[in-house]
Structure 1
C-alpha cells in the first residue's frame, strides 16, 4: 500500500497530470464531481424537510463512497493480475495527489505579482481561493496564496497519499470522493445545510490525520530552510491551530506561519461579507511580498520530499517484515 503511494507521489511530482490527457478524458475528480451532481439532483429536493434532506445526504455519501471504493478495489485487483498492470496502477494512482499543480498555481501568483503588479496578482490568486480578490492588497494576496498552499498541501497531497498508503487505490479514491463532496455540497448554504452535513463532517474526520502530519512535516522542513524556525512552528501550532474556523486547516497554516515568521489568516471577505478570523502565527510579519510566497513554496517542497521519503521508508519496513 505505502509502496503504491510512494511511486504515485514520485510520478505525480515529475509529470503531474498532463493537460492533453485532461482535455481528452477529464480527471478522476471531474468524474467524481459528475456523480455527486447526479446524487444532488436526484436526492436533494427542496420540498423535503430538514431531517429528510439530512438523511438523504447520508445516503448520498454512502453511495458515493461505495461506488468509488468498489471501483478502486476492482481496478487494483485486475491490474495486479496482468503484465505491466502495476505500472498502469501507479499511473492511475498518480492522478490523486496534486503536488505539481498546487505548486504551479501558487508560483503563478508570485510571478504575477512580480511582473504584472497587484491586478495580475489578484487575478492569479482568484483561481485558487474563494475570497473577494478586489478587496485584497498585495500582502493579502500573498497571505491567501500561502494559506492555500498550506491547506491544500494537507488535503490535496498528504491526505490522498496517506489514505492510499492505508487502503491502496481504493483508499485514495475514496478519500478523493469524500473531499470532492465536501467542496461541492459541504457548504453552509440553504441548499446544502442539511444535505451536505454528512459530507462536511466526514471530510473533517478523514482529514484529521493528514493535517497533523502536514504540520509535522512543515516543522521538520523548517530545519532545512534558512531563516525558518521549527521551534516557532511548534509554538504557533500549540497556540493558534485550535482557533482556526476549520478543525484541520489551522494545523498546517499555523505551522507554516510560525516556521516562516509571518502572520496568516485573519479577517477576510467572501461574497461581500467580512469574516472575522484569528491570525495564525500571531505576532508574525503581516506585510508580505511575492518573496514570501517563494519562501513558502520552498518550505512545501522540502516537506513534500520528506513525505516521499517517509512513505518510501514505511514501504521498505513493511517489505522487510
Structure 2
C-alpha cells in the first residue's frame, strides 16, 4: 500500500508541484506546522535552567509531531470510511504529494541560474538569498553558484529522499511526522542562545531521522553521475574522504557526492549573519564554480529523482509479481 501511495505522490508532485494559487489561498502544510511551532515556542521557550528549557523543548516537539500526525490519521480514516477505495487512495496520494519538494526544489535553484543569466551577479545574489541563510553580499559569482549547488544537494536529502523514505515506511502519518520534525529543526534547532537548549530535541531527532536518507541521497547522486557522464569515482572518493568531516552528520553525504561528481569543492568557510563559520571542504576539485556547473548539478538532480522513482517502481513491480 505504501509503495503505491509513494509512487503516486511522486508522480503528482513531479507533474503539478504545489500550485501558487493554492498556497496564496490556504498556505501549505509546512506553513501550518510552522505556525504551530511559533505558537508553542512563544509559550514554552522562556527563561529557566538548561534542564527546564530542554524539557520544554521536548514537550513542544511531542506536540509539534503529535498534532499533525493525529490530524493525518483522522483524515486518512475519514477518507477510507466515507469514500470508495480508489478515490480515497488518490486523495491520500494528493495530500502526501504536498510534503514532497522535488519540483519546488528544482524551481528555486533554477531561479538562481535564471537570475545570473538575466541580471548577472546582483540577480543571482537576490535569488540565492531566498534558499540559503548565508550573507549574499559576501558571495562572488563562484560563491553564489556553490551556495545554490550545496542547497540543491542538501535539500535533495531533506526535502525529497527523506519524505519518500518515511512515506514508504509508514505512509501518510510517517511523512507528516518527518516533515513536522524537519520543520521544527529548521525553525528552532539552532545553536543560537535562544534555541540552543529549547531546540535540542528537535535537532537531535532530525539528525537521527535523516541518517538513512542522506546515505540514500548520496547513492542516488552517485548513480546519476554514472548514468549522466559525470565522475562517479570522484563522487565516491569525496564521500569516503569528506562526508564525515561536515559539521552536519548528514549534509556532508549528498554535498560530497555532488562535489565529487562535478569536480568541485563545496561547503568550506561561509558567512552567516556576519559570522564566519569554518566548515570543511567537500570534494577536491575547483572552488571556481561556474553557471554551467549549476546547470550540470540541476541535470544530475533530475536524474537522481528519476532513479529514486524508478527504484520505487521496481519495488512495487516486485511486490505485484
Q: What root-mean-square deviation, in Å, do the aligned CA atoms of Structure 1 and Structure 2 show?
A: 1.0
Unaligned runs of 5+ in 1: none
1:4 is matched with: 5
Cα deviation 1:96-155 (Å, max 9, x = unaligned): 011111101111101111221111110010000000000100000000000000000000
**How far off is 1:77 after superposition?**
2.5
1:225-280 CA-partner distances (Å, limit 9, x unpaired):
13x11111111100000000100000000001111111111111001111111110
Q: With structure 1 as the length reference, what TM-score do the two structures score? A: 0.97
- For 1:96, the equivalent position in structure 2 comes to 99
- For 2:249, the equivalent position in structure 1 comes to 247
1:53 corresponds in structure 2 to 53
Q: Secondary structure at the match of 1:17?
A: coil
Classify the secondary structure of the residue corresponding to 2:228.
coil
Q: CA deviation at 1:14?
A: 0.8
Task: Figure out how many residues of one structure are paired with residues of the other and give that number.
Answer: 317
* Distance of 2:256 and 2:144 partners within structure 1: 18
- Other-structure match for 1:78: 78
Residue equivalent to 2:216: 213
CA distance in 1, matches of 2:89, 2:99: 16
Preserved contact between residue 187 and residue 193 of structure 1 (Cα < 8 Å): yes
Matching residue of 1:292: 293
After superposition, what is the alpha-carbon deviation per residue over 1:50-89, rounded to whole angstroms, capped at 9, x for unaligned?
1101011111111222222222222223223313111111
State the TM-score, normalized to the length of structure 2.
0.97
Q: Distance in 1 between matches of 2:178 and 2:213?
A: 11
Asked if the contact 1:111–1:290 (Cα under 8 Å) also holds between the matched residues in 2, the reply is no
What residue is the counterpart of 1:276 in the other structure? 278
Task: Give distance in 2, aligned partners of 1:63 and 1:288.
Answer: 43
Aligned structure 1 segments of 4 or more residues deviating by more than 2 angstroms: 315-320
**Matches of 2:277 and 2:35, distance apart in 1:** 31
5+ residue gaps, structure 2: none
How far residue 179 of structure 1 moved from its aligned partner, in angstroms, is 0.2
